[in-house]
Amino acid sequence: MLKFIPYVLKSLWRHRARTLLTVSGTAVALLVFCFIGAVQQGLLALTSGDDAGRTLIVFQENRFCPQSSRLPQDYAGDIAKLSGVQDVVPVKVFTNNCRASLDAIVFQGMPPEKLKAWRDLDLQSGSWSAFSSQDDAAFVGVDVATRRGLGVGDKFTIGDVSVVVQGVFHSATAADNNLIFTQLEFLQRARGANDVGTVTMLEVHLNDTADPEALAKQIDQAFHAGPVGTTTRTKGMFQADTLADLAELIGFVHWLGYACVGLVLSLVATTTVMAVQDRIKEHAVLQTLGLRPLRVFGLVLTESLLLSTLGGVLGVAGSVLLLSLSGMSIAAEGVTIAFEPSVNLAIQGVAVAVVVGILAGLAPGWQASRTEIVSALRHA
């Protein structure tokens, strides 16, 4: 079959306008398919990551937006004394938009030593010493830095918060690349109100023997009669609850991905049928020269496979390039979903294109192979 590849390529080139339209349509559909897959992958990473079940988030009871949660920072000391607790990190969160947004800016303030211990930050530029020694210093995630054009030494203002960039970092956790980290006390004082002594949430890291559910109930019971009630959940459950409405929308968009696959199938199949109709007489001549019907079937199937695979590869490559360069994300109530490309997603996209190419060529290939030679030769 390999010796017939030049023939197949010449057949495609003969109708280059139709070929180009089919390949470009397939590429766009696969780009959308991979884009949707990246969003779903980002959501899954938030709710089922390594620390999603071993870290507890303590939030103020009946509060949702970070600005509305005000926990006493002293709660951290009480929680740290509980059996099974490895460490407690007080976190102050500020965001310029609590609603779903593609360009939300999320600040997280925490003590520098806690930040260094519990966030996997690989500094691309800047230093920890500069961050620790300057009150309004900030570490900016690489995706935020790319979107906003920020570098070390730049001053960045959003709302009432102004910071000086003292480092740009990359994190293995994709969502963290869309955050800006500051010192806790700075963010407590930044908006003009003296919030020293209060935090948005407490991040409770557990040891290997702790029972997350039992400890969450114990924490809530301990502060039930206190000045501020709490709601404690695992990090994965907290993020899933926070993004519940957005997750439903993403789940609906999932069907759009299937629609894109159907579009590719329809597009490639239609083009292949048209090609077969145009070459009825040609296929009859090939069979007259000795080509068996199975070989004619293979030629049509190869043509369909090449169209779909070429469009799929271009679409996957375009989606990976777009997602890598743009650093896109969506945030809601201070929780960020990163649109992250991956090797698995790229392989899945190409595999879909290959399978669709084979399926789209079955019916036209069967039609071409079953053509009656005499009637086909009479075809004008």
> Average pLDDT, stretch 171-178?
91
Tokens 């339209």 belong to residue: 21
pLDDT, one tens digit per residue, over 218-234 is 999 999 988 899 999 99
Residue 327: left if φ>0, alpha if ψ -120 to 50, beta else—which one?
left
207 φ, ψ to 5°?
-85, 175
**Which amino acid is it at 80?**
A
pTM of the shown model: 0.83
169 φ, ψ to 5°?
-125, 160
**Better-scored residue on pLDDT, 16 or 90:** 90
Sign of the Cα torsion 279, 285, 289, 291 reads: positive
Q: What is the mean pLDDT of the chain?
A: 88
**Which amino acid is it at 320?**
V
pLDDT, one tens digit per residue, over 102-111 is 888 999 999 9
pLDDT, one tens digit per residue, over 323-338 is 988 888 888 888 989 8
> Which range is most confident: 62-76, 272-286, 287-301?
62-76
Does the pLDDT value for residue 2 go beyond 80? no
At 180 the three-state DSSP class reads strand
Does the pLDDT value for residue 315 go beyond 90? yes
Instruction: Give the whole-angstrom CA distance, residue 287 versus residue 298.
Output: 13
What percent of the chain lies above the pLDDT cut of 90?
Answer: 55
Does the pLDDT value for residue 291 go beyond 90? no
Instruction: Give the whole-angstrom CA distance, residue 237 versus residue 235.
Output: 6
Tokens 């296929």 belong to residue: 283
Measured CA distances, 127 to 85, 137, 307 (Å)? 30, 11, 50
Residue 289: left if φ>0, alpha if ψ -120 to 50, beta else—which one?
alpha
Exposed/middle/buried for residue 193 (C-beta within 10 Å: 0-12, 13-18, 19+): exposed
- Strand 137-141 with 161-171, pairing: parallel
Instruction: Give buried/exposed letters for 317-343 (b at 16+ CB in 10 A, else e).
Output: bbbbebbeeebbbbbbbbbbbbbbbbe
The whole-angstrom distance between residue 44's C-alpha and the CA centroid of its chain comes to: 9
Taking alpha carbons only, the member of 293, 320, 308 closest to residue 360 is: 308
Instruction: Give the whole-angstrom CA distance, residue 288 versus residue 227.
Output: 91
Exposed/middle/buried for residue 156 (C-beta within 10 Å: 0-12, 13-18, 19+): middle
At 100 the three-state DSSP class reads coil
Q: What is the CA radius of gyration of the chain?
A: 28
**Which amino acid is it at 294?**
L
